[in-house]
Amino acid sequence: LAVIEWQAERILTFHRSKRFTHFDNLDTLRDWADFYIAYDRACQEGCTLGSLASEIIKTDLNVRTQLTTAFTQWRDIFRDGLERMQNLGHINTQAEPTQLAHLLLAAFQGGMLLAQVTHNITPLRDALHTAIDHVETFALPNGQAATSR
């Protein structure tokens, strides 16, 4: 259980850092994606929390709650950022922040797994860029109020 807490805290702290300014604009999402696409160990390590979760859940079902909490907190970082984007008028109110947060997290997890398996960053790049492109479909022109669409 301690290793799950440690991995989760590392990831959550990184995603809450000033580097990503709370994911409150599309450029920050792109910076996040670009960081992982350029991460030289992505093809070797994959996502450390995702890899740990897939292994440990097979043998210890008592960790499900702890893993669920970690992934929910991670999802909430994205969801909160997407809600801020709506409040700031960057994306329209038709965007569903929780669904989009699930999309970003699933694209990351799946992309990291495929990058690790194939030893090629292309699946991660494609998954993240496509997910962010989808978020961008909700973008509002600069200066337009979030409630206008």
C-alpha 71/C-alpha 77 separation (Å) is 10
For residue 28, is pLDDT > 90? yes
C-alpha 107/C-alpha 134 separation (Å) is 11
**Span 34-89, pLDDT tens digits:** 999 998 777 777 777 776 677 777 777 678 888 888 889 999 999 999 999 999 99
The pLDDT value recorded for residue 147 is: 44
For residue 122, is pLDDT > 60? yes
The pLDDT value recorded for residue 7 is: 82
Q: What percent of the chain has pLDDT over 70?
A: 91
Domain spans of the chain, in order of start:
2-140
- CATH top class, domain 2-140: mainly alpha
Task: Please tell me the total number of residues recorded for the chain in this structure.
Answer: 149
For residue 27, is pLDDT > 80? yes
CA distance to 3, 50, 61, per residue, from 65 (Å): 14, 15, 9
